[in-house]
Amino acid sequence: MCDNCQTNLFCSCFQAHLKKEKIQRRDRAVKALTTVLQKRRITYSNTHVDNVVAIPLADASRVLLSLKSRRDEQYYVVYKYRPANSSQWLELRRDAFFSWLIPLTVATSQSTGSAELMPFGKYKGRLVSDIAATDKRYCQWVLEEVAGHQQLKDAISALM
């Protein structure tokens, strides 16, 4: 019995509640994956497609990663990804995905001028060198207004 309309459980308000729960679950999965990318210091940028990010690789190519994960039959987390030059989406379990991806991205962060990642704000998780190249006003704001983060400020100063 539905608490709102006192009818059977397949009423419209119950269906709306289920839809809301599904959206919240997806949003938590997206947040969890972006957090994992940031903790593992994997740089990424948003694309024009919702919940899809581009991860640059050492060979100047990139991988598109769907932030909406799913669970397989054994209840392992599975990520969908595809190389940017391919149209076919592939799937890998979380551990296998990161074992495959991390060696391909390590050289990317080492080859850039600054491997410092922005720890806060609208550019959280992005390389400071990328931010300095695209948004000088934001970098100036960090230098003038943000307290602490001396290593970050030094990296920004070196790039400006």
Query: What distance in Å separates the CA atoms of residue 155 and residue 160, rounded to the nearest whole number?
Result: 9
Residue at 65 is within a domain: no
For residue 96, pLDDT beyond 60? yes
12-36 pLDDT, tens digit per residue, is 777 777 778 877 776 787 888 888 8
- Residue 159 sits in which domain range? 114-160
Task: With respect to residue 122, please indicate whether it lies within any of the assigned structural domains.
Answer: yes
Residues 55 and 62: beta-carbon distance below 8 Å? yes
Residue showing tokens 């269906």: 15
Domain count for the chain? 1
Strands (E), 108-152: none
Cβ proximity of 38 and 50 under 8 Å: no
| Residue 78 resides in a domain | no
Plot region of 2 (φ>0 → left; ψ -120 to 50 → alpha; else → beta): beta
DSSP state of 127: B
Would you say residue 136 lies in a domain? yes
Greater model confidence, 60 or 96? 96
Instruction: Tell me the pLDDT band of 103, cut-offs 50, 70 and 90.
Output: confident
Judge whether 159 lies within some domain: yes
User: Is 146 a member of any domain?
Assistant: yes
Residue 135: inside a domain: yes
Residue 80 lies in a domain: no
Backbone torsions φ then ψ of 7, nearest 5 degrees: -115, -170
pLDDT of residue 115: 53
The answer to whether 13 and 4 are in contact (CB under 8 A) is: yes
